Amino acid sequence: MRENLHPDYRKVVFHDVTSGYKFLSGSTMNSNETIEWEDGNTYPVVKVDISSESHPFYTGEQRFADKGGRAERFRKKYNR
């Protein structure tokens, strides 16, 4: 096989900034930020906006208000 073809596969902590949920998984992603995990080792941290802990499909609840489409916002702004 060719050398340096595939990215490095390592353990990474994913941090859901919405809910604060963190989980350890294997990934090729990397980050300059690190965190000490429960096992005492230090791993890179990748911040994500949404995970299974905060996604409406998995939680069964909507966490943000629906702003409506363009037409509804236009009608609301220029109500005549």
pTM of the model: 0.67
Model confidence at 62: pLDDT above 90: no
Model confidence at 39: pLDDT above 80: yes
Question: Smallest Cα–Cα separation from 43: which of 61, 65, 27?
Answer: 27
Instruction: Detail the DSSP E strand segments found in 1-80.
Output: 10-16, 22-27, 34-36, 42-48
Mean pLDDT of 18-46: 93
Phi, psi of 13 (to 5 degrees): -95, 125
Confidence of residue 66 (pLDDT cuts 50, 70, 90): low
Residue 46 or 51, more confident = 46
Look at residue 12 and give its three-state secondary structure.
strand
Tokens at residue 33, please? 């930020």
Mean pLDDT of 46-73: 74
